[in-house]
Amino acid sequence: MFQDEEVKRWALLVLVACGRSTPADPPVPSPQPVARAPDAEEVTFPSDDMTLYGYVWRPAGAGPFPAIVYNHSSEELLSSGKLAVQYYVDHGFLVFYPHRRGHGRSGHAAPYMNHLFDKDVPRDPVKLTAELVAQSDDVMAAVAYVATLPEVDPKRIAVAGCSFGGIETLLAAERGTGIGAAVDFAGGAEWWAEDPPLRDRMIQAARNAKVPVFFIQAENDFDTTPSKVLSEEMKRAGKLMQVHIFPPFGNTHRDGHSFCGGAGGHPAWGDEVLTFLTENMPIVP
């Protein structure tokens, strides 16, 4: 059960969201957990001429909720994404975890992108970049789908993701339609040094970003240059951004690359991400 002060705080937020209070400055919820969500619901959504699958996680209550479209990385087989998204759901966000074409439940819609490159087919950086850009259509379709859900506040939708999902998050920030903020965990960290086409495309996306972006990595990730370079590009372009390279996470580069998942119920990046999201997607009466 919640303590009395917690109940009062969330009651005030509901009143503000419904337009029954008009304070001078919109309140920013403190990063305290709310009731745990039930199991995810599997849904379908359209992207171009494809029908893709995804999972919706809802917090307790009736809404309207802020929402996050969480972009998965490059694994061929995906689950509902519970470990990646639960922290956001616990803090009052509806989370949609879409499976992009060729991945997980949407594996029927296209070849898995990493199968385009195997031991008999030299990796083509241009082709890889083009595929990632094409999949950004799926992300924007997921944003449009979430905005139709009756329990979602369509003015408070963000995108987030890790690794390839971080790249997709930055590409979505460049397009901007329907979103208010983006959180890029380790986008491009594995490919930055050896993939000039992808590097150049991400720099372009940073320069053209239409919403604030928070770049996050652990110090022992494969390469922290992407967060440093991309945040600086946004700064020079006069765009709102934030960057934090956290202390090492785990013992290996792979561990560091998995920092987006955090550890336990309160990841090291948790409070900063919640503050970033609430500041850039305030509750407006």
The domain segmentation of the chain, as residue ranges, is: 4-280
Q: How far apart are CA 272 and CA 270, in angstroms?
A: 6
Burial of 268 (0-12, 13-18, 19+ CB in 10 A): middle
Q: Within 10 A of 255 (CB to CB), how many other CB atoms are there? A: 14
CA angle 23, 26, 29 (to 5 degrees): 125
The class that CATH gives domain 4-280 is alpha beta
Residues 6+ apart with CB under 8 A from 142: 45, 47, 52, 54, 69, 96, 98
Burial of 62 (0-12, 13-18, 19+ CB in 10 A): exposed
Give the pTM.
0.84
Beta pairing, strands 65-71 & 213-218 = unpaired
Q: What is the pLDDT along the chain (285 residues), one digit of tens a residue?
A: 334 443 334 333 333 333 333 334 444 444 444 444 458 899 999 999 999 999 999 998 888 999 999 999 887 777 656 777 888 999 999 999 999 998 888 888 887 777 666 545 566 778 889 999 999 999 999 999 999 999 999 999 999 999 999 999 999 999 999 999 999 999 999 989 988 999 999 999 999 999 999 999 999 999 999 999 999 999 999 999 999 999 999 999 999 999 998 666 789 999 999 999 999 998 765
65 close to 34: Cβ distance less than 8 angstroms: no
